[in-house]
Structure 1
C-alpha cells in the first residue's frame, strides 16, 4: 500500500487501519488489536471550538469542524488523520459498550512521550519536550500546538508506554479507548522546572510565561483496570534531558 495512491493523508491513514483490522479478522486467530494513538486526537476543546472543557479524558475527541487554531499543514494533517483513523477503528471494528460486535480493540491514546531510550538518536517527541532548552523554535511550536490542542501538555514516560502495551496484551479481557498519560503540564510549567533545576542551560525568559488553563487530567480507565504508572513528571523531564545530552543534541550555553 503506497500513500501515493490516496487523495490525502487522512484517506491513507483510514485505509491503513482498515487493512490491519481486516487482516486480523481474516486470520481468525486474533482476538485483540492494540492500536497506538495520540492525544492530538483527544482535545478537550468544546465542540463549537470556543473554549475548553474542565477536563481531558477518553471521551474527548478533537473537533476539527470548529477548530479555531493557527495550524501548520503538517500539524493539521497529522492530528486530523490520527483522529479519523482511530474513530474508524473503534466504531467499525471494536465491540460496543455492551460487548457485542467486532473483536477486542484497545486504543492507547499516548501523551507526548519522554524519557531515556536505547536509541542512538534523539526521538522526535523527546526533542519536542526539550525544545525550550535547545531554543529550537520549530520544535517549540510543536509543543505549543500540543498545548493549544489539549489545553496543557499530556506527558508520559516511554517505559510506562511500553508497560501499558504489555499490560493490555496480557489481561484476560480489555476493550475500548484509554488515555496513556500521568502528567499534564503547561509549557510554562515545564520551562520553570528547567529554569529552577537546570540553570546551567540559561533558559530564555520568553519560555517562562504562558497560559495555565484550569483543565484537569481526569482519565482513570487504565488505572482502574490495575495499571500502575512508575514515572512522574520530574522523572520524565530529567530522563529526557539525559537522553538529549547523551545523543549530543543538548549542550550548555
Structure 2
C-alpha cells in the first residue's frame, strides 16, 4: 500500500482519539479526510491545521453525526475509514429520540457510504470496553475471563450508573453490534476496536474525559469518579491503555492485509484499589485518600489476545500511562501539583 497515494477518513477528528489518530496518520504519510461538526469553529479548525504535514495532507469536512448523510463527501475516494465520532450530547430537537438511535443511524449510514464509494476496503470502528462486560446476563457475578466474546447486558441495574453512562454504554454496544452484522454489509471488511480507559497526553488544550476518568482518584471530581466506579462495576476491573497504543492499534488494523471482527484494546487490567496504590507509590505528593485503597477483589482474567496474535505489540506499560496522563493534566490545569 503506497501511503503517499492512500486517502483515509477519520470521523470525529477533533476528539481525543480522533485528533491523536489524525496526527499519527499524517506523520506516517497518509492523506487524511478529517470530519468535524462545524468548520466555523476556529479553535478546532486551527488545531487540526497545526498538525504536522496538515498543509499538504489534510482535508477538512463538515459532518455532524446527527446528520449522517453529511459523511458521504468525506468518505468519497478513501481506501479506509476510521469511524471515531460518537454522540455525547443529545438535543431534544434532534430527529432521533436519543443518543443510541443517533449513534446506530450514523453507523449504518457511514457503512453504507463506504460501500457506495466503491473505494473503501475496510471500516474500522472505535468502540468501548463498556460494550464488552464480563458480567453474567442475570447480573449475578462475573465470568472468569474477559475477552471478545463478552457483551454487556443492557437491562441490568447498576449501582454507579446514571442516565448518561447507561445511554453511552447502550449506544456503543448497539452501534458495534450493528457493524458486526456481516449479512448487512456484505464484502466490506469491518473491524471494531473496543478500547479501555484511554490515558496519556493529548494535542488538545484540555484534559480529555477519558484521561480525567483515569486520574479521578487524584482530582476527586464527582463525575469522573463515578465514571471510574461505573467502569469497574461493568468490567469487574479497569482495562487501561495508552493513547499511543490505541492509535497504533487502529493503524495496525488498517495496514494489515486482511482484518475483520472484534478486538479488545487494553494492556493493563487492574482494580481501582490497585490503581490507587500505583498513584500513591509513584506520586505520593497527591496524597490519595486512604478509602481508595479498599475495594472489591475479583479474580477475572484478561483473556483478549486476538490482536497480539495478529502481531500487534503494546509499547506503553501502566507506569508510562500514569506518567503521561499526569503530564497532560498538569499542563491543562486539571492537576495543580
TM-score normalised per structure 2: 0.71
Q: State whether structure 2 residue 109 is matched by structure 1 residue 109.
A: no
Superposition map of 1:144-223 within 5 A:
144-223=229-308
Aligned twin of 1:58:
148
Gaps of 5+ in 2: 1-65, 68-89
Query: 1:179, 1:151 → 2: CA distance?
Result: 15
Aligned twin of 2:157:
68
Query: 2:164, 2:183 → 1: CA distance?
Result: 28
Aligned 8 A contact 1:93 1:105 in 2: no
Superposition map of 1:14-25 within 5 A:
14-25=104-115
Query: 2:183, 2:221 → 1: CA distance?
Result: 41
State the Cα deviation string for residues 108-164 of structure 1 (Å, max 9, x = none): 110010012222211111111111111212211100000000110101000001111
Query: 1:140, 1:15 → 2: CA distance?
Result: 31
User: What SS does the aligned partner of 1:222 have?
Assistant: helix
Aligned length: 246
* Correspondence for 2:174 among 65, 76, 84: 84
Query: 1:85, 1:61 → 2: CA distance?
Result: 12
Gaps of 5+ in 1: 96-100
Query: 2:183, 2:169 → 1: CA distance?
Result: 21
1:92 Cα deviation after fit: 4.5
Aligned 8 A contact 1:58 1:178 in 2: yes
* Correspondence for 1:142 among 218, 227, 233: 227
User: What SS does the aligned partner of 1:147 have?
Assistant: helix
Aligned twin of 1:36:
126
1:245 Cα deviation after fit: 1.1
Q: Identify if the C-alpha distance between structure 1 residues 183 and 93 changes in structure 2 by more than 3 Å, giving closer, same or farther.
A: farther
Aligned 8 A contact 1:195 1:203 in 2: yes
* Correspondence for 1:130 among 215, 220, 236: 215
Aligned twin of 1:12:
102
User: What SS does the aligned partner of 2:205 have?
Assistant: coil
